[in-house]
Amino acid sequence: MLTSMFETAIRERCRLFEIDITPHTLQWPDEPMEHGYAVEGMDGLKEYMGNADQIVGMTGDAEMLVTQLAPLSAAMMDRLPNLKFVAVSRGGPVNIDMKAARERGILVVNTPGRNASAVAEFTIGAILAETRNITRGHDAMRAGIYRGDLYRADIAGQELSEMTVGLIGYGEVGRRVVKFLKAFGCRILVSDPYVQLSADDLNDGVIQCSLERVLADSDVVSLHPRVTAETTKMINAETLAQMKKGSYFINTARGPLVNYDDLYEALATNHLRGAMLETFDVEPVPPDNRFLKLPNVTLTPHIAGASVKTVSYAAGLAAEEVRRYLAGEPALNRC
């Protein structure tokens, strides 16, 4: 999320206003994010980058802050009396104490769906990499082994056109994944108790059903909900046991959605044929993580949302919110 792209977008969108922009660059993603539960005074915040003194010093007496990862705790807000507007270029303001912001009259906006297209594309790649043995073939070739046995019918993967793919979650990402999956001709099931299928998806034969049916009927289960109290560790021993023996599990969403001890057992005992994991319960993943040694997993370092379009789109959304604030217009995506 290049600072320069955000500054360019803001200056272009807000050219009718005189604004003074002070750019600062934090070290993510070259350095890992921090977590509020691990740092005194940052309770209630989740992922963020930068310590309190650093961010307060950067922000100074500014009225507006545009950021992706900078933390804003209640104590920090008390040290920033001029701050009135915060644009968080993420799908959710997990680095902001929203209760404290409301109490202090600070408007917080976000950029929903900023990386939905990127994550949806990545999910299709994740499904193919795992179900068609692309990962296995790649790992073997790197090790100097030519695995012709991957052509054997009892090892080769099925085509998507003959599989049922189940999605848990039908938000911005889930809807795009459904759209892409239609081109492969697979049967598509969706579970989301809070969202109804679009008319196009209904007409195209997409089936909305219970979580239990998605788990029981799907050859591939792909995870796409937000992390809430209800969805935390929703993939666990009980739900994994409901999945078909020999099916695949795909997580391009969030680590806290999964009980990784239970998932490991399902993979190690071959109840699941394979999994593609893009997010984990601990990030960065420690070098002794058990999943690194499993032969039936594809692993990536939380990069599904990484695309140039993600940055440019988020910058545009944030810039429009800045313009609307300066013009006295209501926010589009008030948190």
pTM: 0.87
335 belongs to a structural domain: no
One domain for residues 260 and 153: yes
- pLDDT band (50, 70, 90) for residue 47: confident
pLDDT in tens, 113-145: 889 999 999 999 999 999 999 999 999 999 999
The residues pairing with 164 across neighbouring beta strands, listed in sequence order, are: 187
One domain for residues 64 and 213: no
Residues annotated as catalytic (active site), given as ranges: 254, 283, 302
First-to-last alpha carbon distance for the chain, in angstroms, is: 21
- Please tell me the distance from the alpha carbon of residue 236 to that of residue 92, in angstroms, as a whole number: 25
> Is there a contact between 271 and 249 (Cβ–Cβ < 8 Å)?
no
- Please tell me the distance from the alpha carbon of residue 116 to that of residue 169, in angstroms, as a whole number: 13
One domain for residues 168 and 43: no
One domain for residues 83 and 121: no
Q: Which domain holds residue 154?
A: 116-299
333 belongs to a structural domain: no
Q: How far lies 275's CA from each of 242, 262, 299, in Å?
A: 16, 13, 9
| Structural domains counted in the chain | 2
One domain for residues 203 and 317: no
Mean pLDDT of 100-111: 96
Q: Which residues of 107-146 are buried (b: 16+ CB within 10 A; e: fewer)?
A: bbbbbebbbbbbbbbbbbebbbbbbbbebbbeebeeeeee
For residue 266, give the CATH number of its domain. Answer: 3.40.50.720
> Is there a contact between 222 and 119 (Cβ–Cβ < 8 Å)?
no
pLDDT in tens, 136-182: 999 999 999 999 999 998 889 889 999 999 999 999 999 999 999 99
